[in-house]
Each structure stands twice: as structure tokens, then as C-alpha cells.
Amino acid sequence: MRTALVIMLILASGVFVACGNSGNSGGGPDAASTNASGSSSSASDSTETPGGQVSNPKQWSSPPAMQLEEGKDYQAILHTNKGDMTVDLLESDAPKTVNNFVFLAKQGYYTNVPFHRIIKGFMIQTGDPTGTGAGGPGYRFADEPVTRDYVRGTVAMANAGPNTNGSQFFIMHQDNPLPKNYTIFGELIDGFDTLDAIANAPVGPSRSGEMSTPKESLTLESVEIVTK
């Protein structure tokens, strides 16, 4: 049991670092210069490929200004081709991260985005419109304190190290004692059957040899933001 835990922790430490470029939500050699302050502005429009993935997703020069309305509770309904998942967004714990997620969702950034990385018993990862694990919104922003544990249904940001958040995020399939290096901004409150359906999908090797690339289409079709 101890050996299995150590192996999982070693695996986990690399899961969220090996995706994306360092100007976005994961690490990579093709980093673009970014500005992590100020209001956001659209720098380009997206282009969809015949396969449905976005080859040139919309980009912004900086993170969005705060748009959350005080006193409102935010939830997100993740519509996927395997069913829906409802996430309670933790605007009190991580206001900047929730604001970023809400902004991107309302901009349609999470429309027809693949779940590009699946590790059964650990997590499912999405948020890159290109489906390569190297995509992001064109900016990065700072981490926020993590006080919760990474339990089943936790929604957190993928990153390439400190303060490199962008658009990619993951949902925990099962509890895992990850180091608190990934900003937690939501928790699943409905749709655990959908989470299981995605996590249990067959996978093959990624370019790095990791068994995490889905063998079938697993798609985040859209994200609907609901306020209460």
C-alpha cells in the first residue's frame, strides 16, 4: 500500500506540469510573453478544425477584470458528451480563479473542448481547446491559497509551476494526497456518474508514453454558468 501511494504521488507531481506552454496553464518550451495584470482584451478569434478542435483558440493579453457579483453563489454546469456535471464554484476561497473560469465560460472558450488527459482513479483534465495539452488563453495568473484536500470531485487548476494558471483544469476522480500546489476553485455536487464514465474510458499512450490519452472522443461541449 505504501509503495502504491509513493508511485501515485510521483505520477501526480508530473500530471499537471506536462501540459501547455508556460504562458498558459501548463509547461512547455514555446512560452509567450504575458502580462498578468490589467483588464482583458481579445487579441484574436478562434479557428475550428474539421475534427471540431480549435487550432487557434481566442487569446487575450491579460486576465479578466473582476466581474463576480458580490453576494451571489456561482455554479457551473459542465455539459459533456457523456452527460452533465454540476460544480459549485468556490468564489470565497478562490475569487480570482472563479472569476477567470466564469469569464472564459461566458466567452465560449470551453465550447467543444476535449478531455485530453484521463487517469482512472486519479483525475480527468480539460480546458485546452487545441486538445494538445499546450493551449491556453494567452495569459497566466497567480495561484490562490489552498486550504482544502484533493478529494473526489475537487476541481482545480492545472499549472506549470507557481503562478502559471490559465485555462486548463482537472477534476479528481478519487481522493489523492497531492501537494497543495493547484488552486482549488470548485467541487462537484452532481454528475459523479459522468465523472466515472469519462475516467473509465479506455486510454492509450501519450507522446510521453503516459497511459492517459483517450481512445474515444470525450468532449466538454459547453459550460453554463448559473448564479443563485
pLDDT at res. 98: 98
List pLDDT tens digits, range 54-76.
567 899 999 999 999 999 999 99
Specify the pLDDT at position 57: 87
Measure the CA–CA gap between 44 and 33, rounded to whole angstroms. 16
Would you say 156 and 180 are in contact if contact means Cβ atoms under 8 Å apart? no
Has residue 8 got a pLDDT over 60? no
Residue burial 2-29, b: 16+ Cβ < 10 Å; e: rest: eeeeeebeeebeebbbbbbbbbbbbbbe
All three cell numbers of 151, joined, read 478529494
Q: Which residues pair with 114 in a beta bridge?
A: 219
| H/E run at residue 2 | helix 2-15
pLDDT in tens, 142-168: 999 999 999 999 999 999 999 999 999
When the pLDDT of each residue in the chain is averaged and rounded to a whole number, the result is: 83
CB 54 within 8 A of CB 46: yes
What is the residue-wise DSSP string for 195-210? Answer: HHHHHTS-EEE-TTS-
32 vs 91 pLDDT, higher one: 91
When pLDDT is averaged across residues 35-43 and rounded to a whole number, the result is 35
Task: Give pTM, 2 decimals.
Answer: 0.82
Provide mean pLDDT across the span 187-206: 98
52: its cell numbers: 471540431
More confident residue, 30 or 26: 26
Instruction: Kindly list the distances between the CA atom of residue 156 and the CA atoms of 29, 46, 141, 142, 187, in Å, as whole numbers in the listed order.
Output: 23, 25, 14, 13, 9
| Nearest CA among 228, 219, 223 for reference residue 52 | 219
Q: Which three cell numbers stand for residue 69?
A: 457579483
pLDDT tens digits along 118-150: 999 999 999 999 999 989 999 999 999 999 999
Which domains does the chain carry?
2-28+73-227 (2.40.100.10)
